[in-house]
Chain A
Amino acid sequence: MTMAYDADPDIPDETLMVLYANGDRQAALALTRRITPRVLGYAARLLGGDRAEAEDVAQETMLRLWRVAPDWRQGETRVTTWAYRVATNLCRDRHRSRSRRGQVALDTVADPADESPGAVSRLQDAARLAALEAALATLPQRQRQAVVLRHIEGLANPEIAIVMDIGVEAVESLTARGKRNLAAVLAGQKAELGYEDDADDR
């Protein structure tokens, strides 16, 4: 009986890549469970909440990951960084075609996980997340990528620079402008989203 690698955070993704390339089926399962949710979440936010397209992007990104596994060079880049970069490019391609169609699937925003203390709080969180997804969809694509990678996916600026193939200063600029634009878009919904009581905290 082999152990479940995905339950052991001490085994780095890079090691799992080598194990996968050497035929370890548990490594395939562990990488699937670790990387797929992150790519899916990132792609869903870049694609304005279109779940079906985000799943396609996640599957395609993972397929490319499996293909590159035999040639994976440890120490050059993190597996997650590589995956985010591939997903970014795939989303960019899909975003271009979707922009031509002029549609954004805001009604397909994923349901939040059921961890909220109560129904009211859960509904409010859902409303806030839906508003955030809608606001993110209004940002220019590069700003959206930078904000999502920095503030939702939790990547450091140098890592984002690799994903987006730009300099760290450009990342900082995109993130700052993206947050300013987000705040401006969401400002009109402040009371509706239950933020009016926070004004005193400033």
Chain B
Amino acid sequence: MTDRDLDDLLALAARQPPLPGPDLIDRVLQDALALQAVLPQGPAPLGVAAARPGPLARLSGLFGGWPVLAGVCSTLILGLAVGYLSPATADYLTGGGSAEALDLFPSTEFLTTEG
């Protein structure tokens, strides 16, 4: 038998599949309707069933979600801004005071001295 004979024979089989009888169609349909009656039916429109989180949503999920990611970004931007500003500008923003002489707890000096 040649390849062409075999291809023709397979094509013949493809054109003439075993047809289901009405009994089988009835049984399958009865199963379908019986199960459909007890399915939880939601109002989901077409296409929603395939809804999945996108790449950005999955990335934000790695960091704990959008709120956490927003906080991290804000801190990052503030850190960059503070690092970029010159000391003179920082002095202007803080009123020009020097931190060298700042003593927050002068009365606790005795704790660090040997007596």
Contacts and interface: CB of A to CB of B under 8 A. Distances in A.
Contacts, number: 140
Nearest to B26: A32
B50 A74 contact: yes
Contacts of B6: 179, 182-183, 186
A63 B24 contact: no
Interface in B82-100: none
Contact of A73 (B31, B39, B42, B50): B50
Contacts of B62: none
Most buried by A among B16, B20, B44: B20
A104 to B, nearest CB: 16
The main secondary structure of chain A at its interface with chain B is: helix
B106 interface: no
A51 B18 contact: yes
A29 B1 contact: no
B33 A186 contact: no
Nearest to B32: A28
Interface string B1-38: 11111110111111111111000110111011101100
Contact of A190 (B1, B10, B18): B1
Interface in B38-56: 39-44, 46-47, 49-50, 52
A20 interface: yes
Contacts of B3: 179, 183
Central interface residue in A44, A151, A154, A179, by most chain B CB within 10 Å:
A151
List 6 tightest A-B contacts by C-beta distance, closest first. Answer: A110-B18, A41-B17, A28-B32, A74-B50, A151-B10, A112-B16
